[in-house]
């Protein structure tokens, strides 16, 4: 039917069937990052590719896990989340790249989002603008626990999600074009302690909250807007390692505390690292 399109029993965009999923899904934007994530698994059982969506399903340390690329931006990510949710996936972790607004949040560091400013359009199709885009406590704590355990340099902060990579994030377009209302966007976001730009986190978190799913976001800093540094590979391996390990942590908490929503009530030292 057109209202809920499927193709031979598969959801229309991801091309997955109901039995093709795992309870925990990692969501990089870039299809090639799915390969990197899955290279850390014990085994890969399934690969499906359609358009910008590449999916592997397998096991990490004996746990069922999947990774699906979302493509670039909230509209594409919203399709992935919508179809995964319809197939019963309950826990989602965005594994992305990002640009830091602060010199102290360096290229190669990781950022774990504790809330997102909704400058995207896709999340507005799911909830009014006053609705918070926040991670589930289980996922936030699991990502921090994983980063601490792996000894990687990370920060926990606020993310601004935009639909446009160039002018929407204060980068001049062709011929230096930049609308007047965006010329001061970086300084305005810094004045309210926003840490970074991305293009998917607010959409994923908003949808997860609306649908009662668990979601979070970990990103590798590949650009620094204050120092003007850029390295597209910096920290990406660490982000993938942390995301995979966070799945192990969440799974352990789920087994240990099956009837408790928040598995870790401990406040971890250094969670809110100053900029």
Residues 198-255 pLDDT 10s: 999 999 999 999 999 999 999 999 999 999 999 999 999 999 999 999 999 999 999 8
- Would residue 267 count as lying in a domain? no
- CATH number for the domain spanning 59: value is 3.40.50.1580
- Would residue 1 count as lying in a domain? no
Nearest to 119 by CA among 171, 76, 159: 159
**What pTM was computed for the model?**
0.94
- Would residue 260 count as lying in a domain? no
Predicted pLDDT at 256: 87
Predicted pLDDT at 100: 98
248-263 tens-digit pLDDT: 999 999 988 877 655 5
Predicted confidence band at 195 (pLDDT cuts at 50, 70, 90)?
very high
Q: Interhelix angle for 74-86 vs 201-211, to 10°? A: 30
Predicted confidence band at 34 (pLDDT cuts at 50, 70, 90)?
very high
164-186 tens-digit pLDDT: 999 999 999 999 999 999 999 99
Cα–Cα distance between 38 and 247 in angstroms, integer? 13
Helix (H) or strand (E) holding 28: strand 24-28
Lookup result for tokens 């995964």:
84
Total domains, the chain = 1
Q: Interhelix angle for 137-150 vs 236-256, to 10°? A: 120
| Bridge partners for 214 per DSSP | 91
- Would residue 81 count as lying in a domain? yes
- Would residue 211 count as lying in a domain? yes
Lookup result for tokens 């401990």:
266
- Would residue 273 count as lying in a domain? no
The mean pLDDT value of the chain amounts to: 94
Domain that holds residue 73: 6-254
- pLDDT exceeds cutoff 80 at 266: no
83-109 tens-digit pLDDT: 999 999 999 999 999 999 999 999 999
Q: Would you name the residues annotated as active-site residues?
A: 13, 83, 171, 225
- Would residue 192 count as lying in a domain? yes
Predicted pLDDT at 260: 65
- Would residue 274 count as lying in a domain? no
């Amino acid at each position: 039917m057109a209202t809920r399109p499927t193709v031979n029993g598969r959801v229309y965009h991801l091309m997955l069937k109901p039995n093709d999923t795992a309870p925990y899904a990692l969501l990089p934007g870039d299809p090639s990052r799915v390969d990197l994530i899955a290279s850390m698994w014990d085994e890969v059982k399934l690969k499906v590719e359609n358009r910008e969506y590449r999916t592997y399903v397998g096991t990490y340390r004996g746990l069922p896990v999947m990774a699906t690329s979302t493509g670039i931006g909230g509209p594409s990510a919203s399709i992935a989340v919508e179809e995964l949710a319809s197939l019963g996936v309950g826990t989602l972790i965005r594994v992305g790249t990002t640009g830091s607004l602060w010199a102290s949040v360096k290229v190669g560091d990781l950022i774990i989002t504790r809330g997102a400013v909704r400058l995207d359009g896709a999340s507005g199709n799911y909830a009014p603008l006053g609705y918070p885009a926040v991670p589930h406590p289980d996922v936030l704590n699991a990502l921090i626990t994983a980063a601490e355990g792996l000894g990687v340099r990370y920060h926990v902060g606020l993310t601004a999600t935009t639909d446009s990579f160039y002018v929407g994030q204060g980068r001049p377009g062709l011929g230096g074009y930049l609308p007047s209302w965006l010329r001061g966007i970086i300084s305005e976001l810094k004045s309210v302690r926003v840490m970074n730009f991305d293009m998917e986190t607010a959409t994923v978190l908003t949808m997860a909250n609306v649908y009662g799913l668990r979601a979070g976001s970990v990103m590798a800093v590949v650009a620094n807007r204050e120092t003007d540094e850029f390295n597209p590979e910096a920290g990406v391996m660490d982000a993938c390692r942390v995301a995979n390990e966070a799945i192990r942590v969440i799974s352990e908490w789920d087994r240990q505390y099956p009837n408790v929503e928040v598995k870790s009530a401990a406040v971890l030292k250094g969670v809110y690292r100053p900029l």
